[in-house]
Structure 1
């Protein structure tokens, strides 16, 4: 057995509520790039859980405490099923992002539920979680956290672009890693697709049938967030306050809303990756072919997609990697990315209590 090999499970739940992403991955401590995603799976949420996670932002403190523990127990049970299904024998640790309920870094608040002690007790494994809180306490945005993984695992690409609930990007500039949230994506597209009875707009078919509302497009592109310099990050609260009311005041046809928002997303992303053919694109939005076509059109960029495992599970993979760095007391949060007062090793470690 190679003593530099580490086997772990990473978990990620995104704001678009697609489900819980799990990866069983092998890392080589001598060469991080030589990772291997051995098993990967997404577990869909029940309607009850989807509703609770959507409404959690409005819960009282007591109710959030209970939700945190209940969600940790859910993750623990999902992990046991994953371990049993794939007959996984060797696990050095589990790293869980949890699910973001609140993210208001300007107010010193970020909350990712999924109690680490509950996960550790149920799985009988060491657990690393709560990766964002320390960064916010150090004056940072607490997001995005993936860029450390981008820098160490995917340095062959000029840009690493994730298109999920939100789109975010990271890249190297003047010997620093720069990263930030670009704009909302699936968190908005799925919301309006739901109004027609669909979980999402498969391949962007509904959007492709709509018309661009030019007034709405201009207003979306004029939102102050897009003029801010990084570090900057987005949360559900910002979408609820800025995006939904604006859309609903200017357009009622869902297909036209989707078409206009797809173009908005493509234009915002294109401002950053314009005419660059070294872009790694991952995340659920990659499967919206109409969106990808628009990004390619506005950015004048040749879009090349990696394997499906990486597209679907890159964030879960990187949270596993952040857990590895934390356990080795290595930096996993960059001040150049989040705006924190210093680089640091973030996350809480939990051990099973017998």
Structure 2
């Protein structure tokens, strides 16, 4: 089996920037294996950050312009990275940046024009991994579980703490995954008020005091009562979470602590419901894995029978870029890369759109 050399590109809801991972991916003895060879995290400059953050409110024309401009920008970042290291590349697999995600209305949109990305980087591009699943009645999310299932089979649960929290696990021979609820989105929303991008290692939250009424109201949110498959995003956060956070008195530290307590209660409920085996392992990735107060609280909630496993920092930060690289490989082989058991679609699919670069004259 050939070794695929792929550039995975990911931008998440937390808007902390673009993650790029140059990966080697191959199959040996019927088992997939991978190596993350080189990575880069690129912060968004203020103008781009503002546009992406408010993309949901842009007019149709402004949205189309951003889609094109961001595609070119992604292509430029990829080109610099590839040329700097003189990488041999089969293709780029790009997630893009989600501006709209309302699967119940059949709508999902990832910014970052594939053809312009391909033309700018002068590389084949595979992108737009969500649309086909949504068109088939699925949630178009979460997509990472295919990577959990095939690249990380040794963990009973794979938990991602990005802007929102989601996890995946095997159940009755199928991969199940869904968005549990909140993770870093409300934490970063609060720290921005005091000019901090995030609460470093959860130091502020650790010193805060619990706000019991806020905790109770967060835990009572309707979303947590829905059965899976389910996914959520920025729209839910702005319409339901921000008003709750703002309606309570308390310091930023108090609110941070309360939200972490809430997050961990919901995550623990979701995991415990699946009756984990004794000493089962929960692999934690995403920015929340670097917040020791978040992790300590989660371990405390889960108890001693379920162990939280924190992998090396590079893997935490670039797991999603790796998985989109892997989804690109599966698409290239015309193999299933989106699971209907996860998204609720009518069928599994080999999703993604392929763009070949048009040669520069």
Q: TM-score, normalised by structure 2?
A: 0.95
Gaps of 5+ in 2: none
Which residue of 2 is the match for residue 59 of structure 1?
A: 58
- DSSP-derived class of the 2:258 partner: helix
Which residue of 1 is the match for residue 330 of structure 2?
A: 325
Cα deviation, residue 252, structure 1: 4.4
Cα deviation, residue 84, structure 1: 2.4
- DSSP-derived class of the 1:83 partner: helix
The verdict on how the C-alpha distance between 1:77 and 1:32 changes in structure 2, with shifts beyond 3 A counting, is farther
Cα deviation, residue 176, structure 1: 0.8
Matched, 1:306 2:317: no
- DSSP-derived class of the 1:217 partner: helix
Aligned equivalents of 2:130 and 2:309: distance in 1?
31
Residue-by-residue CA offset, 1:55-111 (whole Å, 9 max, x unaligned): 1110111111110000001101111121123221x1001000000111000111111
Gaps of 5+ in 1: none
Structure 1 stretch 270-279 or stretch 304-313: which is displaced more? Answer: 270-279
Which residue of 1 is the match for residue 237 of structure 2?
A: 239
Aligned 8 A contact 1:169 1:181 in 2: yes
Which residue of 1 is the match for residue 133 of structure 2?
A: 135
Which residue of 2 is the match for residue 19 of structure 1?
A: 17
Which residue of 2 is the match for residue 118 of structure 1?
A: 116
1:340 to 342, 345, 348: 345
Q: How many residues align?
A: 351
Aligned equivalents of 2:44 and 2:319: distance in 1?
20
User: Where in structure 2 are the equivalents of 1:57-96 lying within 5 Å?
Assistant: 57-88=56-87, 90-96=88-94
Aligned 8 A contact 2:210 2:254 in 1: yes
Cα deviation, residue 45, structure 1: 0.8
Aligned equivalents of 2:237 and 2:198: distance in 1?
17
Aligned 8 A contact 1:273 1:279 in 2: no
Aligned 8 A contact 1:213 1:257 in 2: yes
Aligned 8 A contact 1:144 1:179 in 2: yes
Which residue of 2 is the match for residue 214 of structure 1?
A: 212
Aligned 8 A contact 1:120 1:351 in 2: yes
Residue-by-residue CA offset, 1:202-248 (whole Å, 9 max, x unaligned): 01111112111101101101101111111000110010011000111
Aligned 8 A contact 1:100 1:113 in 2: yes
1:273 to 271, 274, 277: 271
Residue-by-residue CA offset, 1:254-309 (whole Å, 9 max, x unaligned): 11111100100111111133465311111111111111110011111332211222
1:287 to 287, 290, 300: 290
Cα deviation, residue 187, structure 1: 1.2
Matched, 1:36 2:35: yes
Aligned equivalents of 1:149 and 1:32: distance in 2?
12
Residue-by-residue CA offset, 1:92-135 (whole Å, 9 max, x unaligned): 01000000111000111111100000110011111000000111
- DSSP-derived class of the 1:167 partner: strand
Aligned equivalents of 1:114 and 1:187: distance in 2?
22
Cα deviation, residue 29, structure 1: 3.3
Aligned equivalents of 2:308 and 2:44: distance in 1?
31
Aligned equivalents of 2:358 and 2:320: distance in 1?
28
Residue-by-residue CA offset, 1:293-332 (whole Å, 9 max, x unaligned): 1001111133221122211111000000001111111111
